[in-house]
């Protein structure tokens, strides 16, 4: 079955993104609409066709938009593709984002630092770096990525950007190694792309015990351990 290509556009930032219906099969288009994008065109039969007609379709959309909102100042420059940038954020901001968007974990209790991913005017991803949870990793020179969360897969390469930012910040602070964990069923493709090596599979388990009762707030099954040396 052939794909249909769309491009959502945001007047406020003069940014657009080209996506296919395959990209949006899990409701990703709804995330873009929530962030202020409007669907300008939904009928391109391939990506190259979508790229070719971006400007004319957006110009037609803006003409209609101006009629409905005559007092709104429209962008003077040509529309630009979506661009992401890293920003420093507080733990509170990162925690709120994780609690709202992470698929299976709540935010950790603290951090060394956090990094955000910014789509011109809205936060679309965060990564939290902290001290290693496992005591044998906590040697003073090892940093752990305790959470990495992207609001939508529409923001391609977002995870890699966040991980790379953690690496660069950790390197500047003098850390020598970064560790992180993924669920056994997760491929870790973004970690591999960033140079992490799969070191092994943990047994998993619960933090709950008779001596110290706890409620597990995340998966308790086996997890893959990924490691990258900082050079």
Q: pTM of the entire structure? A: 0.82
| CA–CA distance, 116 with 71 (Å, rounded to integer) | 33
Q: Give the pLDDT means over successive 10-residue stretches in the chain (231 positions).
A: 83 93 84 91 89 93 93 90 93 92 73 94 94 86 93 86 95 96 87 93 59 52 90 88
Measure Cα distances from 136 to 100, 133, 143 in Å: 31, 9, 12
Provide the 3-class DSSP secondary structure of residue 208: coil
- Per the CB < 8 A criterion, the answer to whether 69 and 12 are in contact is no
| Closest alpha carbon to 110 in 90, 124, 126, 125 | 90
CA 41/CA 34 separation, integer angstroms:
17
Q: Which domains does the chain have, with CATH numbers?
A: 5-81 (no CATH), 85-229 (3.40.630.30)
Tokens 């770096």 locate to 129
């Amino acid at each position: 079955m052939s794909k249909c290509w769309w491009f959502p556009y945001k007047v406020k930032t003069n940014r657009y993104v080209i996506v296919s219906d395959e990209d949006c099969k899990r409701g990703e288009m709804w995330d873009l609409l929530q962030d202020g994008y409007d669907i300008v065109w939904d009928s391109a039969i391939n990506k190259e066709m979508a790229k070719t007609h971006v400007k004319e379709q957006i110009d037609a959309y803006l003409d209609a938009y101006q009629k409905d909102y005559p007092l709104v100042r429209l962008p003077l420059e040509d529309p630009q593709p979506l661009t992401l940038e890293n920003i420093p954020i507080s733990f509170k901001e990162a925690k709120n984002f994780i609690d709202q968007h992470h698929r299976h974990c709540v935010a950790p209790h603290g951090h060394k630092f956090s990094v955000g991913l910014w789509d011109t005017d809205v936060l679309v991803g965060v990564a939290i770096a902290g001290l290693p949870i496992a005591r044998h990793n906590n040697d003073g020179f090892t940093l752990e990525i305790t959470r990495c969360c992207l609001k939508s897969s529409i923001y391609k390469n977002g995870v890699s950007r966040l991980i790379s930012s953690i690496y660069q910040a950790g390197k500047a602070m003098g850390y020598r190694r970064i560790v992180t964990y993924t669920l056994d069923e997760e491929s870790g493709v973004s970690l591999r792309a960033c140079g992490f090596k799969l070191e092994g599979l943990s047994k998993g388990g619960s933090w709950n015990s008779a001596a110290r009762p706890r409620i597990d707030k995340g998966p308790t099954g086996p997890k893959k351990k990924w490691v990258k040396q900082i050079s």
